[in-house]
Structure 1
Amino acid sequence: MSEYFEKIKPIIFIIPALTFAVLFFIIPFILLFYVSFTKGSSYFFQPIFTLENYVKITTNYIPDFRNTLMLAALSATLDVIVGYPYAYLLLRKVRFLSDFFRSILMVPLLGELYIAYGFWWLFLPKGPFSFFLESIGISPFAILYTPVTAALALAIYTLPFAVLQMGINISQIDPVLEEASSCLGADRFRRFIHILLPLSLPGLMSGWFMAFGWNIGAYAIPYLMGGVVVGQRVLSIQIRMVGLLMMNYGLAAALASSLVIISLIFTLISLKVSRGVLI
């Protein structure tokens, strides 16, 4: 009996997580995908198969896809630019303060909404940023409702995920390699270019793709940072407008399905790239 229990023990432990994933992820996505191929307008849902929703996406919502991808790419790039040195310093240079820096890194995980409101208050026309510019003699300029503030806020929100991916990779690079190159006369710049950067490139790419896939579905930050402005709308905001305001559930489901698929693709790419790092 004990031998039989030992064999099925892994399955028993997997069942709760598998049940949760099926009930709250797989089944809802299947229903969402099904609704995306149906007609729906006003308050009525019509279970009639149609490709009209996806045709509308390719004709009317390409700018929203472009805005979403550009914003996600910009914020992911900022994550890599800031997160790579942060991960390196955390793991190689300031280990005695590692707990402090890890605590700072966890602050953005408090929630997307808190970061959105924080940036909204910071860049108000009469907010701290404008006051700082005036104090140093620079005329304040509008930055709140622009893609720049949205990209900055998103970069801060997803920075922990990028740092985690890059940090795992950097921690597995043997410092002896850098020490050996130093003994051979290589300066810091050459050690970085020829040793550290090539070996940490998989983690860097994985961090970029992870942040990109996460940023695609962001809603609160783009909404408060100007996402409702015509020409700056991203898919998450457009889904809300189509589903709740226009009551076109089929089209909203098609937009949401497209967003989930794009995000899933980039998340899988991130896992594929980091597979060599995590093993």
Structure 2
Amino acid sequence: MSATQTQQLQAVRSGHTLGELEKAKAARDRRTYIALLLLALLGLLMSFVLPLAYMVRMSFNAGAPDGVIIETFTLDTYIQPLTDHYYWRITRDTFRMGVVVGILCVLISYPIALFLARTTSRFKGLLIAIAIAPLLTSAVVPTYGWMVILGTNGLVNSSLQGLGLIDVALKLTNNMTGVTIGLVEIFMPYAILAMISGFGRLSPQLEEAAGSLGASKFKIFTKVTLPLSLPGILTAFLMVFVLSISTFITPRLLGGGSVQVLATEIYDQTAGLLNWPFAAALSVILLVLFGAIVAVYQRITKKIGGS
């Protein structure tokens, strides 16, 4: 007996027409979807919207030197970071760090992601697992590893001095150089995953067609492969940029207190100075910076999609 015949039999037994049963089923499905949607919205409200609203409201309070929060409505917490050169420099360094780490991650991860997306090896799953395996560990572990590798007596300096390439150890920690190296290695798996998922527009047939028309491999890459993989590249850059400007552990440990970015300054204002309103204002500024980059990303992707 087919499904239609079964429904007709059920309609006859219940005294309803088939159309009435279908309407009842559609109404029941609609109620289920609405219930699930309300649950999702409630979870989003409790876990994101309310904490964000609390943070924004906190940013308009005033913080006393003894850590007491004064309930008021003032713009002083925004005026100071927007007028003080020190905080302009922190914001600039945060933005620059995110851009540099994002670009380096994309450049290094692109060949790996392209290979993993194209390979037909039976070990493809294993290779992808190896590429993203660092995600299984906390960022603290590779950060401490880089502190040992890049230290004054670490592996890099010891090897270069042993080969006679340098006489004085290079300063690779407690500065932005070490932080950048550490962040690039930590966030490469995110870039690889983002690019693999964004390579859906890549078509081997188009590359074969370009080759059959006499295009060189370099021209095929620059005119076909690279333009089609741009959405994945932009997604990877955005993800790494957002993670970089909001990270705290690596700038604090590899920076050794010499590297100040918005995340470390927010922590110092919260845990050290107990100035929660000012920390909230810096968090809002970080959120605005992130929103500006997302807006630019959407504009570029829309332009690419329309071209």
Superposed pair shares fold, TM > 0.5: yes
Q: Which deviates more, 177-186 or 103-112?
A: 103-112
> Runs of 4 or more off by more than 6 Å in structure 1?
none
- Counterpart mapping for 1:113-128 below 5 A: 113-128=140-155
Indicate whether 1:59 and 2:83 are aligned: yes
What one-letter code is carried by the residue in structure 1 that aligns with 2:221? F
Q: Could you tell me which residue of structure 2 aligns to residue 70 of structure 1?
A: 96
Q: Structure 1 residues 18 and 116, CA, compared in 2 at 3 Å: closer, same or farther? A: farther
- Post-superposition CA distance 1:5-48 (Å, at most 9, x none): 21122233334432222112110110100010111122211111
Q: Is the 8 A contact 1:227 1:233 kept in 2?
A: no
What one-letter code is carried by the residue in structure 2 that aligns with 1:57? P
Q: Structure 1 residues 264 and 105, CA, compared in 2 at 3 Å: closer, same or farther? A: farther
Q: Could you tell me which residue of structure 1 aligns to residue 71 of structure 2?
A: 47
Q: Structure 1 residues 19 and 269, CA, compared in 2 at 3 Å: closer, same or farther? A: farther
Q: Is the 8 A contact 1:69 1:216 kept in 2?
A: yes
Q: Is the 8 A contact 2:238 2:294 kept in 1?
A: yes
Indicate whether 1:90 and 2:121 are aligned: no
Counterpart of 1:243 (choices 270, 276, 285) is: 270
Q: Could you tell me which residue of structure 2 aligns to residue 154 of structure 1?
A: 183
Q: Could you tell me which residue of structure 2 aligns to residue 7 of structure 1?
A: 30
Q: Could you tell me which residue of structure 1 aligns to residue 17 of structure 2?
A: none
Q: Distance in 2 between matches of 1:26 and 1:237?
A: 24
Q: Which deviates more, 216-225 or 145-154?
A: 145-154
Q: Structure 1 residues 16 and 227, CA, compared in 2 at 3 Å: closer, same or farther? A: farther
Q: Structure 1 residues 104 and 267, CA, compared in 2 at 3 Å: closer, same or farther? A: farther
Q: Structure 1 residues 22 and 249, CA, compared in 2 at 3 Å: closer, same or farther? A: same
Q: Structure 1 residues 267 and 205, CA, compared in 2 at 3 Å: closer, same or farther? A: same
Q: Displacement, 1:165?
A: 2.7
Q: Distance in 1 between matches of 2:282 and 2:202?
A: 42
What one-letter code is carried by the residue in structure 1 that aligns with 2:246? G
- Post-superposition CA distance 1:157-197 (Å, at most 9, x none): 22222223322332331110001111112121010011111
**Unmatched tracts of structure 1, length 5 or more:** none
Aligned length: 275
Q: Structure 1 residues 274 and 222, CA, compared in 2 at 3 Å: closer, same or farther? A: same
Counterpart of 1:142 (choices 171, 180, 183) is: 171
Counterpart of 1:196 (choices 225, 233, 240) is: 225
Indicate whether 1:20 and 2:46 are aligned: no
Q: Is the 8 A contact 2:183 2:244 kept in 1?
A: yes
What one-letter code is carried by the residue in structure 2 that aligns with 1:136? L
Q: Structure 1 residues 167 and 154, CA, compared in 2 at 3 Å: closer, same or farther? A: same
Q: Could you tell me which residue of structure 2 aligns to residue 258 of structure 1?
A: 285
**TM value normalised by structure 2:** 0.82
Q: Which deviates more, 68-77 or 264-273?
A: 264-273
Q: Displacement, 1:148?
A: 1.6
Aligned-residue RMSD, C-alpha: 2.1
Q: Distance in 2 between matches of 1:237 and 1:269?
A: 26
Q: Which has the higher contact order (CA 8 A, sep 6+)?
A: 1
Q: Could you tell me which residue of structure 2 aligns to residue 111 of structure 1?
A: 138
Q: Distance in 2 between matches of 1:11 and 1:160?
A: 36
Q: Displacement, 1:272?
A: 6.5
Q: Displacement, 1:203?
A: 2.1
Q: Distance in 1 between matches of 2:245 and 2:75?
A: 24
Q: Is the 8 A contact 1:242 1:251 kept in 2?
A: yes
Give % identity.
Answer: 25
**Unmatched tracts of structure 2, length 5 or more:** 1-23
Counterpart of 1:99 (choices 111, 125, 131) is: 125
**TM value normalised by structure 1:** 0.90
- Counterpart mapping for 1:267-278 below 5 A: 267=294, 269-270=296-297
Q: Distance in 2 between matches of 1:116 and 1:175?
A: 39
